[in-house]
Structure 1
Amino acid sequence: METTDDSGADLIAVKLTGTGTAARWNVYAAVNIQPDNLFPVTKNVLGNAGAPNVIRIFSDFQCPYCKQLWDSKLADWKTRPAEYCVLHYQFPRSFHRNAFAAAEASECAGAQDKFGAYADMLFARYSDWTPQLAAAANTSFNAYTKTAGLSTAAFKTCLASHSMKATVDAQLALGKQVAVQGTPTVFLNGIKLADYTDADEVATVQAITAARPSAATIIGQRLQSFR
């Protein structure tokens, strides 16, 4: 049997061999490295696509801790595009009334290759739209297009038609699949970080994922022999 811990950060395999007094439980535990092909293609990319460190963030635009990440650590990653490629995935929480609509709005901006500029606006105007009722928030989302450099007409059509709802739903489903339990949740090179601000943890993950043969390859081989 193969499973993960509650956080999804560690992979645990358990196997029973023998019977009776000769029965033995064998356990193998390793870091859980999510493969790149598990994550859908997204236009919500900041940095160089060929950068050696791939950051994947599951975020909610109405989450104050996500704003904190965007204003602090993400600002640092964005200054080093050759080192970090940052991909944003939507994980709007149901108790944030405007979060899903904001996610749709940002995806509409991404369709015009303006995700970063529009996300900047959403977080910069956080105090304005988060307390609004849905209709007022929608008006705000449309108004931000001018500053972000979008085609307002195309954006309004996209947002009004909810054409990005399926995209947001798919990213939400993926987040649940990889045990995202809160926002922001940050993956570095496929490994969920316990604390994205911890330099030692980040350095450890970078070392693990830069090794050759890769840690994922070694773990896969050991799991295969364990089965």
Structure 2
Amino acid sequence: MRFRLPFLPSLLAALLAGGGAQAQLWHTPQATAAQPLLKGFQAQGDLLTRGQTRIELDRIGQRVIGVYVTAPRSDTDGVARAILSAWGAPETAVPDLKKVLDDPGFQQQAATRLFEEVDQSGGSVANVRLRQDGWQAYTALKVYPQSAFPKESASLGQGNAPARLDLVSDFQCPYCHQLWNSVSMAEWRSKPGVYQLNYHHFPLSFHPLALPAAQASECAAEQGRFWEFSDRLNEGFDTWTRQTDPEARRSFRDYALGAGAAPEPLDRCLGQDHSRQIMAGADRLQRSLNVTGTPSVYLNGIKLGNYNDASEIRAIRAVTEAGPGAANVTEQRLKTLR
């Protein structure tokens, strides 16, 4: 069983504010080892040592995807430096983390439990364990398995496409509307042999028309018209988002008919309540992926920091599509902590 680390949220918040979180994980082993934070360690390839403390860099190609450390119980300084090196943290961050690792109460808990903390961006995760012979800690890219995502109503693209994109979205969200009309979305949709798109509903409570729109999209999906309906919904975004609930629902019906849905089965579906199913999926996303806002885009299980950043997309594809893949590498490492 994993428990959330009590100490990392505030520390990670500070790192995120400075743009540090996840930054170092994409670098080369040489760049990671050259950080001032690790100045006292001797580097030999992917291994860094200081006394009995060992830091191993997991990488795919020339990109570091994880930092694993084993250390004597007394070397909490080395453990702190290893954890923080994954985020390119400054030297000034070490004392705060070391103080927690030195705390007897935390050590007592860490001796019996594997602690996990995902950073606020959702892109990386820290795991800590204290065993009789010393510390183990692993900071790595957070790769969510496909099972973490609810079953989607409609996919776009080929099932064997190497790049799977999971879009967590709210139809009334203006930023989701921007995503729908983005250059990236156009490129993904134009390459069905490369990208498979999967849409997941996450209607936010302060968007009153998001849930009715999601229900209408499910009715369009029943007739194989989800993406066509969603295109029309986004084309009319400035219109229906200003309408009352009854007016918007009539617009949704018109969009579905315009997308090619047959009227009789559409009306039967629209007369039913699909909210429980939709909200159950959203609740699962919140619990399994810690989703708090929209849009959230995941490429092969890794959350994109910027869906318009072509270099980030190339990097994620490089570490997930090349064998053995980031998910397998990090999972094998995590087995040693469980």
TM-score normalized with structure 2 length:
0.63
4+ runs of 1 displaced by more than 4 Å? Answer: none
Deviation at 1:113, TM superposition (A): 0.8
CA distance in 1, matches of 2:293, 2:200: 13
1:71 aligns with 2:185: no
Q: Specify the SS of the correspondent of 1:74.
A: helix
Q: Separation in 1 of the partners of 2:147 and 2:285?
A: 14
Residue identity matched to 1:168: I
Look up the match of 2:29. Answer: none
1:97 correspondence with 2:97: no
Could you tell me which amino acid in structure 1 is paired with residue 261 of structure 2?
A: L
Amino acid at match of 1:27: A
Match of 2:278 in 1: 168
Q: Residue 27 of structure 1 corresponds to which residue in structure 2?
A: 137
The aligned amino acid for 2:115 is E
Paired with 1:96 and 1:40, the residues of 2 have a C-alpha distance of: 22
SS class of match (1:29):
strand
Secondary structure class of the residue paired with 1:226:
coil
Q: 1:8 aligns with which of 106, 115, 122?
A: 122
**Equivalent residue number for residue 306 of structure 2:** 195
Deviations 1:15-41 (A, max 9, x none): 1234xxx8x543211111111122232
Does structure 1 conserve the Cα–Cα contact (< 8 Å) formed by 2:148 and 2:285?
no
Q: Deviations over 1:132-180 (max 9, x none)?
A: 1111111111122221000122122212211x22331122112212021
Confirm or deny: 8 A CA contact 1:51 1:82 kept in the other structure.
yes
Q: Which runs of no fewer than 5 residues in structure 2 stay unpaired? A: 1-113
Say what the alpha-carbon RMSD is for the aligned residues.
1.5
Contact kept? 1:7, 1:179, Cα under 8 Å: no
How far apart, CA to CA, are the structure 1 residues paired with 2:237 and 2:217?
A: 14
Contact 1:6 1:179 in 2 (8 A): no
Distance (Å, rounded) in 2 between the aligned partners of 1:208 and 1:5:
20
Q: Specify the alignment match of 1:158 in structure 2.
A: 269
| Residue 223 of structure 2 corresponds to residue 112 of structure 1 | yes
- CA displacement at 1:129 relative to structure 2: 0.9
Alpha-carbon offset, residue 115 of structure 1: 0.3
- Give the Cα–Cα distance (whole angstroms) in 2 for the partners of residues 131 and 175 of structure 1: 28
Cα deviation, residue 218, structure 1: 1.6
Question: Which structure has the larger Rg over C-alpha atoms?
Answer: 2
Note if contact 2:209-2:245 (Cα within 8 Å) is conserved in structure 1: yes
Q: What is residue 154 of structure 2 aligned with on the other side?
A: 44
Percent identical:
38
Task: List per-residue Cα deviations over 1:163-202 (Å, max 9, x = no partner).
Answer: x223311221122120212111000001111111111111
The whole-number CA distance in structure 2 between the counterparts of 1:70 and 1:151 is: 25
**Residue identity in the other structure for 1:51:** A
- CA distances 1:92-145 after superposition (whole Å, capped 9, x unpaired): 111111001101111111111100100001100111111111111111111222
Question: Matched residues in 1 for 2:284 and 2:124: separation?
Answer: 17
C-alpha displacement of 1:14: 0.7
CA shift in 2, pair 1:7/1:174, >3 Å: farther
Question: How far apart, in 1, do the equivalents of 2:221 and 2:214 lie?
Answer: 10
The residue number in structure 2 matching 1:137 is 248
| Cα contact 2:172–2:241 (8 A) shared by 1 | yes
Higher-RCO chain (CA-CA 8 Å, sequence separation at least 6): 1
Cα displacement string for residues 23-74 of structure 1 (whole angstroms, at most 9, x for unaligned residues) = x543211111111122232232112121110000001111111111111221
Q: Quick one: distance in 1 between partners of 2:137 and 2:150?
A: 32
CA distance in 2, matches of 1:145, 1:226: 51
Q: 2: distance between equivalents of 1:226 and 1:181?
A: 28
Alignment of 1:209 with 2:320, yes or no, is yes
